Structures are given as C-alpha cells and as structure tokens.
C-alpha cells in the first residue's frame, strides 16, 4: 500500500492526468512509496472514496480543476468523515487562487498553490518526518524546467492505447489576456529541447501516434518550434497527428517552409483569436495584428493541409452581439476547419473582474463560472448563444456537414445571422440543449434548408447525402433519396485517413 496516493477526477476517461505524472516523476526517493489513481467525473463520489480508501494512503494528493471541483469536494467531505487520519493535500489551478471561503480548502489539511512539481515532494518529506508546515497554504515558487524530472515514462501501455497523450516543451505565456490564467505565468520557460525530443522519441518508439502539446504559445521561440516541427516531420507516418496552440499573427517564413511539408490533416493548430473587436482587445489587454493573422490563415488554408481550430469568446467586456457577429463572419471568411465558440468564464485569479462594475458582468457562481449576462448581452441572448455554441459544434465543427453548412447562410450571406436563425429553429423543433442523433439532424437540416433557407430540394438532398456518405455510411436515407434522380450516386467513399477522427472528416 502506498504512503502517498496521487489522484484526480479527469473530465473523461480518455484524458490522462498530466499533472499527476509530473508529481510522481519528481518525488525522488519517495517515488517507490507512491502510486497514481485516476478517476473521472462520471463516477460516484462514494465509489471514488472507496477506491482511494482501498489503497490506505497516509498522504492523499488531489488535483483540483474547474471541471472536477464539485465532485472532488464531495470526495474530500466523505474521506474527512470516514478516514480523518489521512492527510489531504490539494493542488491545481482551482485551489491556487482566491483560496478564502472555498469549501474544499476548509476540508483539506494543506494546499500547494502554483506549480507543485517540486514543492509537493518537499511537503511530503516533511509530513512523513512529522514536520508540519507553518502555513496551510504553501505558495510554490516557479520551478526551473531544467530541474523538473520528465513524466513521460509514466504513461502506461494502457494510456498509450486508450488515452490522449499530453506533452509540453514550455510553460507560461508572454501575453496578459485578462480572462486567462496563463497570463499569470510570466515568464515563458523552455524545457531543454534535446532532452525533450529524446522523450518524444521514446513515446514514438512505444507506439504513441497522437501528441497534444499544452504549451500556450508554441511558436513564440521560433528556433525551438522549428526544431520540434522538423522532428515530427522527419518521423511522419500516415497515423501521426500533432496538435499545437499557436499565436495567430506569428508565422514567419522558416516555420512556413516546414509546415507546408506536412501531409493534410496530420498537423492541427489551435489558434486563439477570441475577438476581432480592437476596443474589446484593449479592454482585456490582448494584442494581435489582424492583418498578419489574416495572411497566416490564407497561407495555412491555401498552401498547407493544416487543420485550423480557431477560438472566439462570447461575453467579453464591451463585445456586443453585433460585434461578435461581425467577428464570427470575418472568421468564417478565413475558412478554419473549426470555430470554437466559447462562453466567457470567470476563472479564479484572473484580472477580468476589474470590469465587473463598468460592464455589469454577472457570472454563475458554480463551475465553470460562465457569464450569465452583462451590460451589452442580456441573459436571454446569452442563453441563445449557448445553444448556438452547441449546435455549431454538432454541425459546423463536426466535419459531418462540410458541404451543407454554407447553404445555411447562402441566401443572406451572413454566417452568424444564418446560423443563429437555424439554432433558434432547431431548439424550437427539438427542445434539445445537448446531442441530436445524426440521422435526425440530417433530416432536420433538410427541412430547414428547404423550408427556411430557400435551398431547392434537390440541391439540399445532394449536399446532405454527400456529407452523410463521406463519413463512411454507404446507405441513402429515404427522405433524401426521394428528392434525387436515380442516376445520382452520391460519394459512397469511406474516409481512409488514420489521423484523428474529427479532423479526418474534414478531409472527406
């Protein structure tokens, strides 16, 4: 039985707890006395507590995040009642800021705030030697990446076969965007690149084929980002997929030369634009060059096979529904494969709160602390945008409707207006705020396109059938077939790409 148990509740089983592996890797001589236990938020807190107690730890380290704080609080409450002898140590972004009046902190023995890679090990040494720290809240100093032991060997064969593998070449962010916790992590710190690439080779040798980089600004250090991109390009195979978060207006020629060599769909860039409104950008201390951004998008879409995942945020201070619509339409024109419409969250510790009074920002007090309304967007319109967000993900982002989606707004020429009308209509028809079965969604889209959007029945049926079959479904739904001539064959083409499924659909 371990003296130290490292545990967390992942959002889904396929997510591997990157932070726990860092803590384990840096325990030094205590590593042999420690174990990792991963749960997920769909499990009952009682069952999670039972799983923890079965291992009889002396010290329990729990990773607390925005997606698991409520369930983790329940687990800690249960453990306090049935096993008060366990020393409970919390860590993670949710308990690193605004620590006063948090119920979970009241229940715990200690909290390590900040990057706990090294500080947690020091605390465990003290606790196991009966040395109690002077303070309950321990503020970890920023560790030097060169002094942090690598966590990658702690991905098991089961992880590699079934889970997303997270990696990072740097920490921190040079920007000060007020809605983001990364703005507090200054300066950017780079892991030694040679050792990092040795770790990546080790993962490749063990069969990892999908790498998700969590660096906030991967292309900040152009020399290192070029080196990493070249590393994966030199080892390219048909099933390799690499994901990076990129600064949207920083893509010089050296990087372009490497990027254009990647096969279609095997490189994904997550590009955080957040707003096209320059005044809103000033409000949130976000700097970006929109002219360079547009040029970079044109390069990526016209000269490369990169899958672009671009982010916009609803509810930023000063952003109206009209200005968001303008930004959305502008982004649609740049043609990223995916547009992630996010609702502003008031993360603990972020300086976005300085706008609360002026812009009448009202947030939900429960995780994930999304905005409910503000001076410029009413509660009702914010609810409409939540539906817009969900339906856009089902239709515009999924890759299931690449041909049919532009038909939604073709008549008006305004993507936001057209899709918002569809979103309102879909909710009126279904009452669903969550998923809609694919075949039902195809039927609903056919009805909307022909009855509301002014698309002729044959054209709507052809586009929807080609989309439907491009995902590997050879049959023709009856409600589409009756509007098509007998000679129309569709595509009946199954996606053969071995890249990530959602990205592969966009290639179809």
Q: What is the pLDDT of residue 220?
A: 87
Q: What is the pLDDT of residue 503?
A: 79
282 to 145, 286, 310, 318: CA distances (angstroms) = 32, 6, 20, 10
Q: What is the pLDDT of residue 496?
A: 47
pLDDT tens sequence across 419-473: 999 999 999 999 998 889 999 999 999 999 999 999 999 999 999 999 999 888 8
Q: Is 325 exposed, middle or buried (0-12, 13-18, 19+ CB in 10 A)?
A: middle
Q: Which domains does the chain have, with CATH numbers?
A: 4-141 (3.40.50.2300), 164-377 (3.80.30.20), 399-508 (no CATH)
Structure-token pair, residue 270? 């997550």
pLDDT tens sequence across 157-176: 999 999 999 999 999 888 88
Peptide bond before residue 368 is cis, with ω within 30 degrees of 0? yes
**Cα–Cα distance measured from residue 195 to residue 197, given in angstroms and rounded to the nearest whole number:** 5
**Which residue, among 471, 475, 476, has the nearest Cα to 461 in the 3D structure?**
476
> SS3 for 15-50, per residue?
ECCHHHHHHHHCCHHHHHHEEEEEEECCCCHHHHHH
Residues 5-33: b if buried by 16+ CB within 10 A, e if exposed: bbbbbbeeeebbbbbbbbbbbbbeebbeb
**Number of other CB atoms surrounding residue 107 within 10 Å:** 17
Q: Please, are residues 344 and 305 in contact by the beta-carbon 8 Å criterion?
A: no
Q: For each successive 10 residues of the chain (508 residues), what is the average pLDDT?
A: 96 95 98 97 98 98 97 98 98 95 96 97 97 94 95 97 96 88 79 98 97 92 95 96 92 94 96 96 93 96 96 98 98 97 96 96 97 98 98 96 97 96 98 92 98 97 95 90 85 57 76
Instruction: Please give the model's pTM, rounded to 2 decimal places.
Output: 0.93
Q: What is the pLDDT of residue 488?
A: 81
Q: Please, are residues 390 and 346 in contact by the beta-carbon 8 Å criterion?
A: no
Q: What is the pLDDT of residue 494?
A: 52
**Number of other CB atoms surrounding residue 484 within 10 Å:** 16
Q: Is 164 exposed, middle or buried (0-12, 13-18, 19+ CB in 10 A)?
A: middle
């Amino acid at each position: 039985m371990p003296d130290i148990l490292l545990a967390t509740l992942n959002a889904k089983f396929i997510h591997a707890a990157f932070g726990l592996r860092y803590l384990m890797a840096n325990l030094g001589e205590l590593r042999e006395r420690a174990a990792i236990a991963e749960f997920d938020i769909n499990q009952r807190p009682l069952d999670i507590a039972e799983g923890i107690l079965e291992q009889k730890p002396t010290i329990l380290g729990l990773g607390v995040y925005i997606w698991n704080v409520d369930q983790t609080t329940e687990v800690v409450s249960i453990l306090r009642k049935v096993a008060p002898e366990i020393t409970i140590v919390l860590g993670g972004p949710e308990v690193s800021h605004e620590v006063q009046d948090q119920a979970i902190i009241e229940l715990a023995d200690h909290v390590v705030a900040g990057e706990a890679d090294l500080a947690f090990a020091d605390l465990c040494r003290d606790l196991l030697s009966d040395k109690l720290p002077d303070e309950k809240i321990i503020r970890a100093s920023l560790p030097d990446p060169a002094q942090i032991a690598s966590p990658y060997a702690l991905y098991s064969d089961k992880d590699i076969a079934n889970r997303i593998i997270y990696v990072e070449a740097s920490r921190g962010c040079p920007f000060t965007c007020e809605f983001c916790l990364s703005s507090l992590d200054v300066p950017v710190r780079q892991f030694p690149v040679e050792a990092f690439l040795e770790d990546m080779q080790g993962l490749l040798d063990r069969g990892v084929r999908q790498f998700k980089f969590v660096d906030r600004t991967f292309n900040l250090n152009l020399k290192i980002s070029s080196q990493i991109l070249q590393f994966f390009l030199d080892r390219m195979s048909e099933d390799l997929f690499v994901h990076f978060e990129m600064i949207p207006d920083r893509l010089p020629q050296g990087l372009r030369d490497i990027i254009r060599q990647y096969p279609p769909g095997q490189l994904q860039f997550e590009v955080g634009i957040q707003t096209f409104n320059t005044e809103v950008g000033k409000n949130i201390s976000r700097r970006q060059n929109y002219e360079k951004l547009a040029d970079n998008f044109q390069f990526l879409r016209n000269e490369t096979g990169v899958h672009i995942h671009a982010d916009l945020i609803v509810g930023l201070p000063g952003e109206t529904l009209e200005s968001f619509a303008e930004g959305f339409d502008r982004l649609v024109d740049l043609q990223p494969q995916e547009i992630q419409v996010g609702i502003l969250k008031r993360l603990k510790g972020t300086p976005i709160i300085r706008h609360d009074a002026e812009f009448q920002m009202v947030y939900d007090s429960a995780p994930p602390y999304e905005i409910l309304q503000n001076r410029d967007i009413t509660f009702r319109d914010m609810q409409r945008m939540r539906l817009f967000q969900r339906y856009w993900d089902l239709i515009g982002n999924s890759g299931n409707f690449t041909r049919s989606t532009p038909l939604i707004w073709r008549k008006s020429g305004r993507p936001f207006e057209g899709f918002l009308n569809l979103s309102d209509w879909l909710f009126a028809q279904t009452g669903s705020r969550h998923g809609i079965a694919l075949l039902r969604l195809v039927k609903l889209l056919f009805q909307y396109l022909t009855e509301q959007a002014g698309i002729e029945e044959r054209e709507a049926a052809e586009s929807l059938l080609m989309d439907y079959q491009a995902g590997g479904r050879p049959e023709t739904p009856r409600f589409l077939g009756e509007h098509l001539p007998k000679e129309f064959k569709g595509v009946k083409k199954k996606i053969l790409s071995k890249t990530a499924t959602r990205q592969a659909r966009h290639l179809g």
